[in-house]
Structure 1
Amino acid sequence: MTGIDSVQLEKVIVHKIGNPSRGEDLHLSENPLTLNDEIVRGLLTKYFLGAFNENELFHFTHISDLQMNEVYRYVAAIFEDRESFMEQAAYIARFLYTKSTHVKVKEGELYVVQFDNVPFEGEYIPAIGIFKSETKESFLRVFPHGKSYEVLHEEGVNINKMDKGCLVFRTNTVEGFKVCVVDSTNKNNDAQYWVEEFLQITPYADSYHNTDKVLNLCKQFITQEYPEKFDVSKSDQIDLLNRSMDYFKSKEQFSLQEFAEEVMHHQEVVDTFMDYKKNFESAKNFELNDEFAIHINAVKKQQRVFKTVLKLDKNFHIYIHGRRDLIEKGVDEMTGKKYYKIFFDEES
């Protein structure tokens, strides 16, 4: 998140959250942090807010009634009555403790934070932050000792790396607020307790969400399903990745039918892609729109993970940006080694 210089850090309380399945305890603080040092306030603000992508928005949900979503209810109570902050923060901590039983959930500090003047969608509004630090890093502290220096080892939190975070903006209350989320320690879906069991949030079905998820669908299809179902080389996969990204970069609107015709070309590939899309939606438990406005920020985000590098053993990396017809693959009869022949006009 950018433009956070105006943010006011109103209250911060820290609770210790263990894993009950390992016999670790819950330790609740009796008082919020004393924040008299402006440098510390600035560092905390950067730590809490720096990792969020305000374009990727979620909202609280529940299968039967939104009011039964515990975190939504506790946060709404703080927005309604600022004096209830301590009480509701304790409820949040107790609830997280009950959801921290997965074997991979680590003990850590829970921060509940009351913000004001947070920039969001052209306004400056109140927000509630819920953060958990699980990863400790080693630091060396050098200090003078007489006429010499000594070094001590300490463990602490890296303020440039947020483990888990949730930022709730005071807007869209009836729909479950607008929420940003970070979960950098469970990118492989090993222990999705933070998003699925604790927060119980779901993405807003907006242009950012649709663009991001369809590009993610394309990447997974091309790198996993496409080579499994068809006899294609790595360069063919990269070519299809490039054509997919070029479509999103050159269009303002996404059309599934148009995308299939312009990018996939062959009907058997299109049919396989459509089947993969259905399975993808079922596994992720959401439905992707067949038509939507393309969000340029989502395209830029996904472009960073669209790998278009052809790696040949440990000797060569070939960056392919287009023109699959200028690459020829073969096998040398004398050595039995594979080769790529690349045609070009000028060397630069």
Structure 2
Amino acid sequence: MVSFFEASLSELSVHRVGNKQQDEFYVLSDKSMHIQDELLNQLLKQYFLTPYQKVNEIYRFTHPNNDLSLNEVFHFVEEVFTNSELFHENSKKIATYLYEISNHPKIKSGEVYVVYFENVQIEGDLHDAIGIFKSETKESYLKVSPAQNGFTISYEQEAININKLDKGCLIFNTEKEEGYKVAVIDQTNRNGEAVYWKDEFLKLKVRNDNFNQTQNILGVYKSFVTEKLDEEFEVEKTDKIDLLNRSMKYFKEKESFDLDEFANEVIANPEGIALFKDYKQSYEQEFETPIADTFDISNAAVKKQAKDFKSVLKLDKNFHVYIHGNKQLIEKGYDGEKDMNYYKIFFNEES
């Protein structure tokens, strides 16, 4: 979804932000940098942009009062997109604001990089983009150098691994009125304090497009099959796997989703259909995430979710049975002599 083979790194500002609650401070640079060294420029682009090649979800800036101008980062970025000469001054405002909201005791200090890119591609179009990145994890590196009659070994402490971006966001100069297109990375804090980056600092919401609609309905359906059904019905594991397989078949074969069509073809049980629709509605209310009854299916979202739709029947620690097709070809039984359950599997050829 994001690629940077045509991208150029135009300007870079580096600051350091501590944890305010721990009485740490922040340090702001006096001026920005224009990286002339071609190798360093490429390494920085690799460090900042490579992780976004695997990002599918796109976010938008938001604000609780529905006034985008009150979103601090949106405001700073908008000023830069309007007048690039204000880049460094607003990068300092961004770093200062990040410091002000760094109040969780587990938030780590680190360098903050604000970068202006040109010609970054997202969803097939080229746009200028502003990147905000934070490096929190430091590592030690060995350096081996040739010397007279051999080699010398030295080390670098507190160095940054360019293959591990801790936190970042890319804000694309498009669709400003809707809150821009924003891609996000957060590799270090996945629980608790993680909300400070995406929710408190950036104040983002997921863009409600076909990708997210597809991903959300598949996630709701999987949760419905694996968790909710057991509360109302006695459902065999093979039946659950069959329901998941049929749903994935539907999404791979159809171009668009229709709730009634999906329910009738996949669930095919009036009580189950009513229960699923109620479950979907409860999800929408709880998470304030409406899912349309009809929308075009995103193949990228289907491919991503397919990895989580397991069709494996695990039998003790002895066997894993993969069920991909006709559920009628597997039967469950009980052997009284051995006092054990069993499955009978029918097939034509062994390969």
The two structures have a TM-score, normalised by structure 1, of 0.90
Distance 1:320 1:29, change over 3 A: farther
Task: Identify the residue that residue 306 of structure 2 maps to in structure 1.
Answer: 303
> 1:70 deviation in Å?
0.5
Q: Quick one: distance in 2 between partners of 1:189 and 1:269? A: 36
Do the aligned partners of 1:227 and 1:233 also contact (CA within 8 Å) in 2?
A: no
Q: Quick one: distance in 2 between partners of 1:155 and 1:338? A: 57
Q: Which runs of 4+ in 1 moved over 6 A?
A: none
Instruction: Specify the SS of the correspondent of 2:99.
Output: helix
Do the aligned partners of 2:107 and 2:193 also contact (CA within 8 Å) in 1?
A: no
Task: Identify the residue that residue 5 of structure 1 maps to in structure 2.
Answer: 5
> 1:287 deviation in Å?
0.9
Task: Identify the residue that residue 24 of structure 1 maps to in structure 2.
Answer: 24
Q: Quick one: distance in 1 between partners of 2:316 and 2:164? A: 33
Per-residue Cα deviation, 1:65-114 (whole angstroms, up to 9, x for no partner): 11101010000011111111111111111111222223443323222110
Which amino acid is 1:58 matched to? Y
Farther-moved stretch of structure 1 (16-25 vs 83-92): 16-25
Q: Quick one: distance in 2 between partners of 1:276 and 1:189? A: 27
Farther-moved stretch of structure 1 (153-162 vs 86-95): 153-162
Which amino acid is 2:329 matched to? L
Distance 1:224 1:43, change over 3 A: farther
Instruction: Specify the SS of the correspondent of 2:44.
Output: helix
Per-residue Cα deviation, 1:230-259 (whole angstroms, up to 9, x for no partner): 322333322221111111111111111111
Which amino acid is 1:130 matched to? I
Do the aligned partners of 2:332 and 2:343 also contact (CA within 8 Å) in 1?
A: yes
Distance 1:135 1:238, change over 3 A: farther
> 1:22 deviation in Å?
2.6
Structure 2 gaps of 5+ residues are none
Q: Quick one: distance in 2 between partners of 1:261 and 1:189? A: 40
The 5 Å alignment of 1:34-45 reads 35-45=35-45
Per-residue Cα deviation, 1:150-208 (whole angstroms, up to 9, x for no partner): 36474443333333221111111222212222233444566322221111122222212
Structure 1 gaps of 5+ residues are none
Farther-moved stretch of structure 1 (258-267 vs 33-42): 33-42
Aligned residues: 348
Q: Quick one: distance in 2 between partners of 1:340 and 1:157? A: 53
Distance 1:340 1:139, change over 3 A: farther
Distance 1:156 1:347, change over 3 A: farther
Task: Identify the residue that residue 125 of structure 1 maps to in structure 2.
Answer: 127
Do the aligned partners of 2:2 and 2:123 also contact (CA within 8 Å) in 1?
A: no
Task: Identify the residue that residue 76 of structure 1 maps to in structure 2.
Answer: 78
Task: Identify the residue that residue 62 of structure 2 maps to in structure 1.
Answer: 61
The two structures have a TM-score, normalised by structure 2, of 0.89
Distance 1:124 1:191, change over 3 A: closer
